[in-house]
A and B are shown apart, each in its own frame.
Chain A
């Protein structure tokens, strides 16, 4: 607030200048932010590509594989056995060279890395080297899209349940903190040091192996039921154990964190003030506790949405869940660079985009925050 009095026309001038400067500031901020985020993504992806290529080591492995396969094919084929050794050798060499060229192994690694990079950045994901989708396609895009629903189903149900239930429970705990349930959650919060797949093993042991009421793993029983309803029920049945293990492993720490967080905010002076004014507890909670914690809650939620994308690598592996995490693991085992890079670039873009967007969300939900200051 300026103290100096202005004439109306002067006032208008000042306002205009202010608006312009605000516009400039926001514009400059957006530009700088976008450029730094883009450079970050580029460097991150490039590093991933370099590591995934192991400085050309993967090339050696793949060349060896090609040599092996081609030579074996020639030896196994009886029609080549009559051929003279020299001719056959040349033919094998030719075939190997052709195969190497087809896989792009004869261009230098540095150039190929940049090609990969530019393809990845333009989301031109290309074709997988060894993996195929269940429908038989080698398109990385199709492979990823095929596994996406499985991951979204598992991660979506468990993470969303986790998020909303822990906020809800944490709120009620922070209302009566120090009671039995509060102490119970505090006492159990160290259990979250144990990863989900580990609970998964125990759950498999109890519910699949000993009690035999739930399946060991997979996503649908085999053969899959024809009827849509039965199919859904079967998927649901398979979802229970991995879902529960994902929830159990972070439930208590999540409740504990939100609870502590709400308690810190509810010890603010303005909350005491509101209490003194005699406002109903519900209103206090909504306007004085939840509102200022909104930026953090939104941050957590958007980061959660990103983790949906990555899948749960170990849990999916233990439960043989055909999601993206397991696909990434399989792709690494098969030296399938396009899939590794494809999965990474999408994650990187999502992350960068979310981080960028969050800055604006903060301004919307918290009037104290100003962009670019």
Chain B
């Protein structure tokens, strides 16, 4: 216990180790926060959800905070509806069961880039007579543009850019830029815009509601991908998955390696020989090819890959190093004493041999974590990621397969990549410092 505390105080003398520790604590905190706020099932539902979950988001939108760094301001996305009362709605009853529903929403548009798209989602209830709406847009220079008028079904989606009539009326191919600039001008007109929807219902209980979605050029904290998914979800969920994979793999590998090396060194004879031979055979096996085969043929589940990774990483060169040290420790006096009082072999292995190696184990364990974290990401990048889980590697793969680097969607790759980098470097730096503390031979040189 005392030595542990000592090591910890020593650790704090290394600035890099403090940085590494901070990163690790931060990651653990984020992982805990993520798993509490977005439960696993919810995360899977959202990640695998399609248009019905993510219709409010634009596609390929960088995060909103790039506006702080860019001289050009990109339009931000928003979604408002009559249900949350952000859209003003006034119902005036008229003659013979009819009613006029006036809905309006005013928004400030002061950006240098046009939005991607505007959509109205209408919901209405009626028995036979469909409600009727007409849409107008009031621009900052006090023009009133009549957008469309039509009868509604129970659910109806109106997309501005898909309206042929509107295109013809505005004499343009792209509706949105035409709406957001002065006639014959190529730059967006800044100021307050207002959408005005006037609806008429023809039945006493008929209702009319709507949602107004504007797909801007930027979105939220992390941006969106090709399927409109908010990238904060996989970025956040990537943390617990990366940590779990890295920690379980490195702990499983190093602890099992150590136990097997101890058993071999203690019993000697054919047990030792067998372990040596297995290690040599494992050296011949193509590690990556086997993992890829398992991913391709059997299952891409992260847990299967994890198990295979551990199995293939146990019998490596490390086992020989541990064995050599165990052979030395085996001859120590205290082992002799333990034998003299009649300790059983398992007792000697687990209570006397292995605890001696913990100072050696801890640094190598921490140092091997980044390799496993990156292994998971690497497999995901070549398309063998878990099909269900949202991970950092999956984001990079999606970005790669959608040509993010060619098309300039840098945020898409940079966000998961920098998280991977920070995680990897955090553990690597910490492991390095631990190595110098626990193996003081290295510290002198």
* A contact set with B: CB distance below 8 Å: 36-37, 40-41, 43-45, 47-48, 51-52, 54, 57-58, 61, 177, 187, 189-195, 197-198, 201-202, 204-205, 208-210, 216, 260, 263-264, 267, 310, 313-314, 317-318, 328-329, 332-333, 335, 340, 343-344, 347-348, 351-352
Contact = CB atoms under 8 A, between A and B. Distances in A.
Given A47-B285, A310-B286, A318-B381, A54 B425 contact: no
B111 interface: no
Nearest to B417: A201
- In the A-B complex, the 4 residue pairs with the closest CB atoms: A44-B284, A190-B428, A193-B370, A193-B428
Nearest to A195: B374
Nearest to A208: B405
Contact of A40 (B277, B378, B421, B442): B277
Given A332-B292, A347-B284, 12 more contacts: A36-B277, A37-B280, A51-B293, A190-B431, A193-B367, A193-B374, A201-B417, A209-B410, A313-B382, A328-B289, A332-B296, A344-B286
A174 to B, nearest CB: 8
B290 interface: yes
Nearest to A190: B428
Interface in B398-431: 400, 405-406, 408, 410, 413-414, 417, 420-421, 424-425, 427-429, 431
A201 B428 contact: no
Given A47-B285, A193-B374, A313-B288, A205 B413 contact: yes
29 contacts: A37-B280, A40-B280, A44-B282, A48-B290, A51-B294, A52-B293, A58-B297, A190-B429, A191-B425, A191-B428, A192-B428, A193-B424, A194-B424, A197-B378, A198-B421, A205-B405, A209-B405, A209-B406, A209-B408, A263-B445, A310-B286, A318-B400, A328-B292, A332-B296, A335-B297, A344-B285, A344-B289, A347-B284, A347-B286
Contacts of B417: 198, 201-202
A340 B420 contact: no
Given A48-B286, A314-B381, A194 B370 contact: yes
Given A44-B285, A191-B425, A54 B297 contact: yes
B68 interface: no
Task: Report whether over half of chain A's contact residues are helix, strand or loop; otherwise say mixed.
Answer: helix
B445 A351 contact: no
Contacts of B408: 209
A349 to B, nearest CB: 9
A216 B403 CA distance: 11
B283 A351 contact: yes
Contacts of A347: 284, 286
Interface of B: 16, 277, 280-286, 288-290, 292-294, 296-298, 367, 370-371, 374, 377-378, 381-382, 396, 400, 405-406, 408, 410, 413-414, 417, 420-421, 424-425, 427-429, 431-432, 442, 444-445
Task: Report whether over half of chain B's contact residues are helix, strand or loop; otherwise say mixed.
Answer: helix
Contacts of A54: 293, 297-298
Contacts of B382: 313-314, 317, 329
Of the listed residues A37, A194, A264, A333, the one surrounded by the most CB atoms of chain B closer than 10 A to its CB is: A194
B420 A198 contact: yes
Contacts of A328: 286, 289, 292
A189 B429 CA distance: 9
Contacts of B377: 198
Contacts of A329: 292, 382
B285 A267 contact: no
A357 to B, nearest CB: 15
B289 A340 contact: yes
Contacts of B281: 40, 43-44, 47
A351 B290 CA distance: 17
Contacts of A216: 405-406
Of the listed residues B286, B406, B442, the one surrounded by the most CB atoms of chain A closer than 10 A to its CB is: B286
A333 B296 contact: yes
A335 B297 CA distance: 8
Nearest to A347: B286
A332 B298 CA distance: 12
B378 A201 contact: no
